[in-house]
Copies of this chain bind each other. A is one copy, B any other.
């Protein structure tokens, strides 16, 4: 009987960087707000609030003199321009991979391609992305949503947290519809690597606990991948762990989304340990647990 944590579970580079930028800023500035939550994790957002970093929902809620942190998913260009016009100090914590996607979308449009975005149209990353192509991109969540019409020039980009197979299937459908098709692969490696290790662990486990915000797109994707392979529960915190799930299980796996802080993973791990004290615990990657403390 063993419990393992998936390699590369938890924070990705972009999220680590955004939190670093935010905590560094909290040391030197006052009146800091983020426009929208900095990352999609309520517990981490609460922790930031303790440091004095609050979040507001719209530009209208930003006060004169506020320092505004642009979150990892980016924000729509017009909002950025309004903040600038209002004289607010802006600290840009947009993930560099997301910025790259925005640039690519803009480039595709300038090159005369009809831009198709593979992603969730309601996700802040996609909403921000749309603003870089004047909100004229066609957003599809999968191949099924691509209309079967002729596209003389189509350019496809993707939300950074998509699964590569979705992208491949979309392109497979698009090929016969297009004369020219320009693909920019903007799926973040960290996402696919995390998915790969989660898939691997799920296929070896008879129970998977996927930890992360319920509003976190990439966590939901991990849970979906894992659900296809074994019994899976998506939780936000250790308190949601139901000891009944653990009964009769031989191999338990834990994975976590890109916006899940290590201390939450650690909590989940320790809670399971509490229930299953006699098990073999095989920590991988969350800095090889037992006493691990994140900054």
B164, B171, B176, B185: which contacts A164 (Cβ < 8 A)? B176
B171, B180, B182: which contacts A171 (Cβ < 8 A)? B171
Q: Give Cα A130–Cα B182 distance, bound, in whole angstroms.
A: 22
Smallest Cβ distance from A168 to chain B, in angstroms?
5
Contact between A175 and B179 (Cβ–Cβ < 8 Å)? Answer: no
| B residues near A167, Cβ cutoff 8 Å | 175
| B residues near A184, Cβ cutoff 8 Å | 179-180
Q: A181 near B: Cβ within 8 Å?
A: yes
B168, B175, B182: which contacts A176 (Cβ < 8 A)? B168
The answer to whether A182 and B185 touch (CB under 8 A), given A171-B171, A171-B172, A175-B167, is no
Q: A225 near B: Cβ within 8 Å?
A: no
The answer to whether A183 and B185 touch (CB under 8 A), given A171-B175, A172-B172, A175-B168, is no
Q: A91 near B: Cβ within 8 Å?
A: no
B168, B178, B182: which contacts A172 (Cβ < 8 A)? B168
* Known contacts A182-B183, A183-B183; 15 further A-B pairs (Cβ under 8 A): A164-B175, A168-B176, A169-B172, A171-B171, A172-B172, A175-B183, A175-B185, A176-B185, A178-B183, A178-B185, A179-B185, A180-B182, A180-B184, A180-B185, A181-B185
Taking CB as reference atom, which chain B residue is nearest A170? B175
Q: Which of A168-210 contact B (CB under 8 A)?
A: 168-169, 171-172, 175-176, 178-185
Smallest Cβ distance from A100 to chain B, in angstroms?
10
Smallest Cβ distance from A176 to chain B, in angstroms?
5
Copies of this polypeptide in the complex: 2
Taking CB as reference atom, which chain B residue is nearest A183? B181
| B residues near A171, Cβ cutoff 8 Å | 171-172, 175
Smallest Cβ distance from A172 to chain B, in angstroms?
5
| B residues near A168, Cβ cutoff 8 Å | 172, 175-176
Smallest Cβ distance from A265 to chain B, in angstroms?
28
| B residues near A179, Cβ cutoff 8 Å | 184-185
Q: Give Cα A178–Cα B183 distance, bound, in whole angstroms.
A: 9
Q: Give Cα A162–Cα B171 distance, bound, in whole angstroms.
A: 18
Taking CB as reference atom, which chain B residue is nearest A186? B179
Q: Give Cα A76–Cα B102 distance, bound, in whole angstroms.
A: 42
Q: Give Cα A168–Cα B177 distance, bound, in whole angstroms.
A: 11
Q: Which of A82-116 contact B (CB under 8 A)?
A: none
User: Which 9 pairs show the lowest CB-CB distances between chains A and B?
Assistant: A181-B183, A168-B175, A168-B172, A164-B176, A172-B172, A182-B182, A171-B175, A179-B185, A171-B171
